[in-house]
Amino acid sequence: MPAHKNCTLVISSYNWPESLRQCLKSVAWQTVMPKEVIVADDGSKPGVGEMVAEISKSFPVSLHFVTQEDNGLRKTRISNIAIQYSGYPYLIFIDQDMILHPEFVHDHLLLVEPGYFLNGSRFLADESSTQKFLSLSDPRPFDLDAIRGKNNMNRRRIPFLMDFMAHRYRVSPDKVKEVRGCNMSFWKEDLLAVNGYDETYIGWGREDSDLAVRLFNNGVGKKSIKFGAIGFHMYHAFQSRANDERNIQMVEEAEKSKKIWATLGLDQHLNH
């Protein structure tokens, strides 16, 4: 059993209530619950906030909804707002398209260690399995067994290998930026120390790599979660990656300059 349980789970969302609903269902079946859940919404159409409010009435822990105006993909900004809003010292970040294994939160908290952030992986569900799972009116953990897709090793939970791999898999300095923002966790004090996510990252991608690089530059190491903290990633079309080259260059510059502090970050939201 994890020694540390005081955590916030942050779920990034945008205009996919069907997946968000099933994601929240999977949160509710966790063997170890977070103390609170924050849906960090990037300006979804009307109805998503009302859906979350309705779910919150019977949810096993506090469930909050924070949102902002829809003005393009600004996941970094709403993530910073969620960090500011959170009331606990440890934060786990996922996306609305992740369906969680019942031991997902347990596994993150089991590997918590001062001076480190955690990065997990995902099992990529195929389109047919995604449609079937999202159509379930009352999904249960055993329904995960029917999901088919790619990279089957990422759906296997093997606790002794999870612990063995934590300090060994893709944790060297040249691998720090190889992360998945849909399955990461951090000490809140470490996020505050680097000014959170950098909101100059516009559009899809690399903001999580930038955060990992700046944390590493500030003395925070990376641990990997393999064979644990399993998330089933629901199939969807690729988002536009028009800014990807620019964002990659920004990450490389953060590496070279040993950058720590986000240019436009968390500090602008504190005490608001």
| CATH label of the domain that carries residue 127 | 3.90.550.10
pLDDT band at 5 (very low <50, low <70, confident <90, very high): confident
> 98-112 burial by CB neighbour count: b if 16+ within 10 A, else e?
bbbbbbbbbbbbbbb
Q: Give the mean pLDDT of the chain.
A: 93
Contacts of 125 (CB under 8 A, 6+ apart): 99, 133, 147, 148, 149, 232, 233, 234, 235
Q: What is the rounded distance in angstroms from the CA atom of residue 123 to the CA atom of residue 231?
A: 6
- Looking at the domain assignment, is residue 1 inside a domain? no
Q: What is the DSSP letter of 67?
A: E
Instruction: Write the pLDDT tens digit of every residue in 101-143.
Output: 999 999 999 999 999 999 988 999 999 999 999 999 999 999 9
| CA 111 to chain CA centroid, nearest Å | 16
- Looking at the domain assignment, is residue 2 inside a domain? no
Handedness of CA 71, 75, 79, 85 (dihedral sign): positive
Contacts of 155 (CB under 8 A, 6+ apart): 123, 147, 230, 232
Here the tokens at position 222 are 């990376």
Q: Please state the domain count of the chain.
A: 1
- Range of the structural domain that residue 133 is part of: 7-268
pTM for the structure as a whole:
0.95
- Looking at the domain assignment, is residue 112 inside a domain? yes
pLDDT above 80: residue 271: no
Instruction: Write the pLDDT tens digit of every residue in 176-211.
Output: 888 877 899 999 999 999 999 999 988 777 899 999
- Looking at the domain assignment, is residue 17 inside a domain? yes
pLDDT band at 55 (very low <50, low <70, confident <90, very high): very high
Question: Quick check: 23 and 92 in contact, CB under 8 A?
Answer: no
